[in-house]
Structure 1
Amino acid sequence: MPRGNALIVDDSSTARIILARLLEKADLTSKGVGSAEDALSLLQHEHFDLIFLDHLLPGMNGFDALEKLKARPETRDIPVFMYTSQNADRYLQDARARGAAGVIGKQVEREQLIQMIDAILADNDSPPDFEAPELGPYQTVADQSYLRKLTGRLSTLEIAYEEANEDIRAMKQHMARVDARFQEELEVRVSRIRRLWILSTVVFVLVALLLGLQVNSVSETVDGLNTQLELITQMIGGLMELVGGGG
């Protein structure tokens, strides 16, 4: 049974799919919408345990939507995370000032996301921040930022690869069903053609037999007529002899 249900609000279908895959790995179900207005409407009759809210949305932006969510009694206690590419400290402060539980980057790592979700679902009021690891002796802040982005992108590629594999698997299953249906239809058509051929052969044989019987009947009739004509000829010949003898 899933641990919870999350709402993803993002106008990018790709971003919704990637985050949904990550949440699935954390044993959460999810539903996605493309605007804040759709999210607010959906929340009137569906319950969600977490909300991931993009900042740049068509129509109402993420901060305006966040303020509305925190103003409504039925949604103000739902943890809301800004799911955005913006990562400035000022943005994080503004988001938390409006009631957000935190800010998650579009290139978030799977382990970090699962750690945050575990803390939220355990009713932890202060979910862990995604702190950067300590710098090595030859690392700079830029190196650390680059590695963090690279790791997030690799995680995104992993999700995309898994999704592609699932699509390929689904396509193979669909092609197998199509092939099975084609084979069934082919067998039905071959069976119909076979039955038609057998029926045609039987009809041909019957017609041939009938024609043979008719030919025999006609032959017998002709033979009978010839016999009768011979008798009539003999009778006429006899009468001619009688007539001639009498004269």
Structure 2
Amino acid sequence: MRTALVVEDTMTERQILTSCLQRAGLNVLTANSTEEALEKISASKPDVIILDVVLPGRSGFELCRELKADPETNKIPVVMCSTKSSDMDKFWGMKQGADAYIPKPVDQEELLRTVNQLIKN
């Protein structure tokens, strides 16, 4: 079974994303911060990471850049999900190495299409 890691500090958003991904048949791990995300990534090597931009401590942009610079994690697809949805935010997210950028509120169909496309490659 494929595994997704949802990195989101807002409980409601985390629950929405988790239930959406579980309905699609994915095993879902969650993290509330970049530090917790790094621990879970190291322990479980998820197939895809759903990453918020605004997080306590380091931002999702910083975490994405770190993951894509590391040979151990650079092949894991990262989908950034954020209320920061201007063209510049999307551009910056993609520049950090994100494989996709979906604005919040998340269109669940778009999220599932994106995740399925990224993990089947």
Shorter-chain TM-score category? over 0.9
Conserved? CA contact 2:4–2:49, under 8 Å = yes
For residues 118 and 55 of structure 1, the distance between their equivalents in structure 2, rounded to whole angstroms, comes to 21
Give the aligned length.
121
Could you tell me which of 92, 110, 113 is aligned with 1:112? 110
Partner of 2:51: 53
- Structure 1 distance, partners of 2:63, 2:30, is 15
Larger radius of gyration: 1
TM-superposed deviation, 1:38: 0.9
Q: TM-score, normalised by structure 2?
A: 0.93
Work out whether 1:15 is the aligned partner of 2:13: yes
Residue pair 1:5, 1:28 contacting (<8 A) in 2 also: yes
Contact 1:15 1:106 in 2 (8 A): no
After superposition, where does 1:69-148 map in structure 2 within 5 Å?
Answer: 69-123=67-121
Could you tell me which amino acid in structure 2 is paired with residue 40 of structure 1?
A: L
Higher relative strand content? 2
Q: Which blocks of at least 5 consecutive residues in structure 2 are unaligned?
A: none
State the SS of the aligned residue for 2:49.
strand
Task: Give 1:52's aligned amino acid.
Answer: I
Q: Comparing both chains, which one has the higher relative contact order based on Cα–Cα distances under 8 Å and sequence gaps of 6 or more?
A: 2
Please report the TM-score for the alignment, with normalisation by the length of structure 1.
0.47
Question: 1:217-239: CA deviations, max 9, x gaps?
Answer: xxxxxxxxxxxxxxxxxxxxxxx
* RMSD over equivalenced CA pairs, Å: 1.2
Unaligned runs of 5+ in 1: 124-247
Displacement of 1:111 after TM fit?
2.0
